[in-house]
Homo-oligomer: A and B are copies of this chain.
Amino acid sequence: MTLTPEQQAEIEAQRARTQPTFRATAPGIEAHLYRAQPVLDHGFVRVVDYMGDDAAIVQAARVSYGAGTKHVSNDEGLIRYLMRHWHSTPFEMCEIKLHVKLPVFVARQWIRHRTANVNEYSARYSILDREFYVPAPDALAAQSTVNNQGRGEVLQGEEAERVLRWLRDDAMQAYDHYEEMLSQEGQQGLARELARMNLPASVYTQWYWKTDLHNLFHFLRLRADAHAQYEIRVYADAIAAMVRDWVPAAYAAFEDYRMGGATLSSRALDCIRRMLAGEEVTQENSGMSKGEWREFEAVLHP
């Protein structure tokens, strides 16, 4: 990550002094505010603003369920109850705003989560920087031979070198031409909105991204998952660490019920019941396809 000196100075200015507020504050996330957490070779995530804390979730739930929430003895128990029963609206009462710098191909996956507010740097208006994602050697993975969307082993030797060279050199050449096409010295200069299309998907962009805690948890469940592409997972991991500091009780419930949990089908539950009754259950007599059975086994024997 390369923060410019201006950005560094701005962050320090923003953290130089606090303001008094009547609002709920969450000390755990205050410590993160504005600071850039490095991700990949040039990217970062930083919290720019937040609304609410664990208590705000409880407060909203008590408005909804009124006296009905009294039998749950404490806030943590109520939050676990809400998470377990898919009561999502109280979690929507917390909001977070992030500033993210990320490669375009990661941004394209990310934006598929539609329930969020986004302001992205516009390459129609402005000129992109010469910054491209080039994987670290241990992230340079081969295509999986068993999974169409997965990665296999790390590339080695000459193949790895060749790939890295191409990724780097093609990006540099594209950027050289981008600059030369834009140049207005001795020529008119191509429109920015056209020139940008010469740049590869490894180029970095940045945006402000704002979402509520319920939708953020949904994002994290999909993107911090082992099946997510590594390059988006590292962003999800960085955000997850911030959320843990922001709303510790909600995050703990999320980890237990979502990240560490599993949804089992009717057939799978039936197999478990038969197993517990002492029956020998195999794929053949399970009613599941081979793929389903493999996934089911992975849940039982992780």
Contact = CB atoms under 8 A, between A and B. Distances in A.
A162 B178 CA distance: 12
Contacts of A202: 197-198
B18 A21 contact: yes
Nearest to A276: B275
Contact of A95 (B95, B99, B103, B181): B95
A197 B269 contact: no
A295 B291 CA distance: 29
Interface in A6-49: 14-15, 18-25, 30, 33-34, 49
Contacts of A21: 18-21, 23, 25, 30
Size bracket of the A interface: 35 or more
A167 B257 contact: no
Contacts of A260: 265-266, 269
Interface string A245-269: 0000000000111011111111111
User: Do most interface residues of chain A lie in helix, strand or loop, or is the interface mixed?
Assistant: mixed
Contacts of A273: 300-301
Nearest to A267: B256
A119 B90 contact: yes
21 contacts: A14-B22, A19-B21, A20-B20, A66-B127, A68-B122, A84-B265, A89-B112, A89-B117, A93-B117, A143-B191, A143-B192, A144-B191, A159-B187, A159-B188, A171-B198, A201-B201, A260-B265, A261-B266, A262-B263, A262-B269, A264-B264
